[in-house]
Structure 1
């Protein structure tokens, strides 16, 4: 009798599973009907318009019609604060027109230097409990960041080590300098989804600040614009934020290269950059927040032979401006307003440059080139790992190339105070070994002297 009961139970289980699978397929075809479609995924954080505001963003497959974050210092014991936000329907530009719903909730006026635990979702599906720590107030503290570009969901060589670093609480923010997933739109945006699920193990715990690269271009950067919520109101294409003694400026190099989407973005960004840098460079602001660090995807200078626009003969559009006209060049603008460090990616390697302006080296001195340098310092950090793999250096390296490495890895920055920045390059190939490190030391900050 017992054997017969077990047999009948097994038959019923198979039938029920078949019905459930059929129902799931039907739900798939009807976009967003099954509970599973409401489960949050791709959770990531960003700073809001000030450091005590944190924006939580995630995706669902179906329209849950509710976007909510519950948070507390101790999620299990403390009363939960409930904050509701907004959601938007995003339809990928591919043939399948895959749909997802991107949710955003801003947690405002959080206590500084405080760890919070949170979940996001709605009554029909919640994320796991994540946590994050808000930065201290003011500028008199020492933020630490991980910085990299060009990481895909295939061959994401540095991701495991970045996850470990994040779990150890090493960073106050992560900066990704363009080129995600390879590419977010690939396979009707399924590759973008896969990448965002992968990076959740980092980005759900620490603000993940981004800028667009050339691999985000498809459908007028629609995947990038939909998935990220950076400060300001420019679809995350350009913005700035303050962290400790540093004013960070993010911008799009791609507005120089994809003019088919319109000339207006280029002019608007340049006007914004002029205003933002001029304000940051005011004596009263540099007294409070001395360092200005910019980041954008394509470099002004590079040490390989493949780039069609990265040599002295052809120039780079972002350095000199648009071809022939030489309008909207950034090297002069950054020099004029005393930018201290410029961070780029795009090339799949790491390069540290000597202080440079107009192809000339302006070291502080022969003994201490980065002490009171007379021009901005540029770093290229595009070796986090992607399916396009590494890129070779030129056989004859230019004189402004101070150090280079083909190892997979990423850059760390620690802003100790208003006079000292510390950089180091982590090699994933060498099991986390630091293959390059240097200090930038400045007794004063401001515009560089005019070059005759």
Structure 2
């Protein structure tokens, strides 16, 4: 199906992608142009429809921002919020302005009930030797994904080559991100120029404190999703880290009755490595335990009833037994946990890193269930109020799931809260 383009292309839109802010009747569409509009009256808009008969337009806003590289290139980010969507319906859309419209894309408005399917990965770049891109595209085109979470280290690095590297990455993911909401948290490779490219290339749900995309949350169906910044801790932003904690505690308390709560952060709190002491360094313990300047996050997440946490940064996949304050709760069946006493953690910095960690050389910690040598993404399936499943989708066709895992619980149960 095709919506005719209705404008000449003198300033073409590019890097089109979606994000979701928690309202099933809405979807955020965002894109870049490389030059400003010629006319002061020109505004960005999206034409969208379910049937190609009625084609309403939604208008948006434009933000100019300038890269700090030698070329000082200015780019223009356009953001449009689509409203009055029918949850679960398929929409066809064009994005742009009177100076140029995109080709037709499609997306499915977010559902209000039923199963939710997500892809989760960190450390993903188009210049990596091997990536999970083909598997991700396959699942997108097969309508097997409702949302995507990229947990840091986006493109390696978006600001490289005066930002051209970021442009190339956003064009590369467009067939995926223009169809499925693409949610992000910042990694250590995203902080250049005070997160300039990260802040201006993505739109995440507002947190009410800072306009920097570093921490956010939203509801989708029966679940609550939280994105957090580990990078405040490594850029000496202690005030921001404390503000994030204040927000997090209030957010989790407010959403405690949601059947499922998930969080995403770039740097892991635990991991296995080439030495027994790997992940005992401050780089990993500071977000977990805090110090004199920074608050620890492990306990607030635990008492806040979080069910699952997802990490990146280490260039491998690792799944953990229930774990809290260095104590491992070994389960009889390592692939099926019921009423886990703590959040379940999964680490996947193997979306498409520049260098992949050889799992054969790792020394497993007592809390480590499994480590995989593959590149790919975690497939998160939220079945209902009592069952969640995960698996790992490797980059090699036919993209057959491995390391299948299920987490079940008694209705109303929350780790750190009890029944």
TM-score, with length taken from structure 2:
0.91
Residue matched to 1:12: none
Q: Which structure has the bigger radius of gyration?
A: 1
Secondary structure of 1:319's match? helix
More helix by share: 1
Q: Answer yes or no: is 1:278 the counterpart of 2:253.
A: yes
Distance apart, 1:433 and its partner CA: 2.5
Residue matched to 2:227: 250
Distance apart, 1:124 and its partner CA: 1.2
Residue matched to 1:169: 143
Q: How many residues align?
A: 402
1:319–1:309 distance in 2 versus 1, CA, 3 Å: farther
TM-score, with length taken from structure 1:
0.84
C-alpha separation between the residues in 2 aligned to 1:242 and 1:55?
15
Residue matched to 1:7: none
C-alpha separation between the residues in 1 aligned to 2:272 and 2:403?
17
Gaps of 5+ in 2: 1-7
Q: Answer yes or no: is 1:373 the counterpart of 2:336.
A: no
| CA distances 1:192-215 after superposition (whole Å, capped 9, x unpaired) | 000000010100001111111110
CA RMSD of aligned residues (A): 2.2
2:151–2:266 contact (8 Å) kept in structure 1: yes
The 5-angstrom pairing of residues 94-113 of structure 1 reads 94-113=69-88
The 5-angstrom pairing of residues 233-312 of structure 1 reads 233=207, 234-259=211-236, 262-281=237-256, 286=257, 289-305=258-274, 310-311=279-280
C-alpha separation between the residues in 2 aligned to 1:204 and 1:229?
13
Gaps of 5+ in 1: 1-34
C-alpha separation between the residues in 1 aligned to 2:80 and 2:290?
38
1:97–1:408 distance in 2 versus 1, CA, 3 Å: same
2:187–2:313 contact (8 Å) kept in structure 1: yes
1:430–1:162 distance in 2 versus 1, CA, 3 Å: closer
Q: Answer yes or no: is 1:40 the counterpart of 2:9.
A: no
Q: Answer yes or no: is 1:127 the counterpart of 2:102.
A: yes
The 5-angstrom pairing of residues 117-266 of structure 1 reads 117-137=92-112, 140-155=113-128, 157-233=131-207, 234-259=211-236, 262-266=237-241
Q: Answer yes or no: is 1:79 the counterpart of 2:54.
A: yes
Secondary structure of 1:188's match? helix
1:306–1:54 distance in 2 versus 1, CA, 3 Å: farther
1:37–1:60 contact (8 Å) kept in structure 2: no
1:113–1:395 distance in 2 versus 1, CA, 3 Å: closer
C-alpha separation between the residues in 2 aligned to 1:223 and 1:165?
27
C-alpha separation between the residues in 1 aligned to 2:308 and 2:297?
13
Which structure's relative contact order is higher, taking Cα pairs within 8 Å and 6+ residues apart? 2
| CA distances 1:240-274 after superposition (whole Å, capped 9, x unpaired) | 11112211111111111111xx4322121111111
Residue matched to 2:45: 68
Match of 1:426 among 390, 393, 409: 393
| CA distances 1:113-161 after superposition (whole Å, capped 9, x unpaired) | 1111000001111100001111222xx4110111111101212511122
Residue matched to 1:336: 303
| CA distances 1:57-106 after superposition (whole Å, capped 9, x unpaired) | 0000111242110111133xx12101110011111111111111000000
C-alpha separation between the residues in 1 aligned to 2:199 and 2:277?
27
Secondary structure of 1:273's match? helix
C-alpha separation between the residues in 2 aligned to 1:307 and 1:240?
35
Distance apart, 1:280 and its partner CA: 1.3
Secondary structure of 1:240's match? strand
